[in-house]
Amino acid sequence: MAERAQYEELARQLSAVGAVKRDMGRILPPDCPAGSAAALTLIGRHGDMRMSKLAELLAVDMSVTSRHVAHVAARGWIERLPDPADKRSRILRLTPAGVDQLAELSRRTTHLFAERLSDWTDDEVGQLIRLMGRLRDSFGDCRSTPVRLPAPMAEQPATTATAPASAATAPPTP
């Protein structure tokens, strides 16, 4: 098992992923904010679905999902069709324009990663993908499982600490 200092460093590194996500947000087309991009991506990946399923996949409230759906529908990227199993519900489906928009989002994201990771080997990129997938698997499907706080880690003996106390307790940097 890793030592406490390693977990603290991991927390700092993961909080820095916010910078990567912000950079990804900057490359989105002006008419396609991050929430809309996420909705399109999930519909593209999982196929036609009800809005409740999209809300679950996005891990957001139905009202937030409804705003994202309204935004992408207004741009003609999805259509809302009657659900044959329940006429009160709607099925969300990508339109040809939505498929095109999704391809553009993919092109932009691929270009950003190719540019930023140009000094990485293919093996290093593959390792990152595998490890991030494994990390996500270790946390399970956090969208549908109740939040449970982890048990506190046992304190390390004071004699093994090499960093000043302020560094060991500093919050992760964004």
By the 8 A CB rule, do 144 and 56 touch? yes
pLDDT of residue 165: 38
172, two tokens: 């992760």
pTM for the structure as a whole: 0.73
The closest alpha carbon to 89, from 64, 53, 38, belongs to: 53
Q: Indicate the DSSP class of residue 163.
A: S
Residue pointed to by tokens 């977990």: 7
pLDDT of residue 87: 82
141, two tokens: 């499907």
* Cα three-residue angle 1-124-133, rounded to 5 degrees: 55
**How confident is the prediction along the chain (174 residues), in pLDDT tens digits per residue?**
679 999 999 999 999 899 999 999 999 999 999 999 999 999 999 999 999 999 999 999 999 999 999 999 999 999 999 998 888 889 999 999 999 999 999 999 999 999 999 999 999 999 999 999 999 899 886 555 455 556 665 554 444 444 433 333 333 333
**What are the beta bridge partners of residue 94?**
78
**What are the beta bridge partners of residue 49?**
92
Between helix 51-58 and helix 62-74 the angle, nearest 10°, is 110
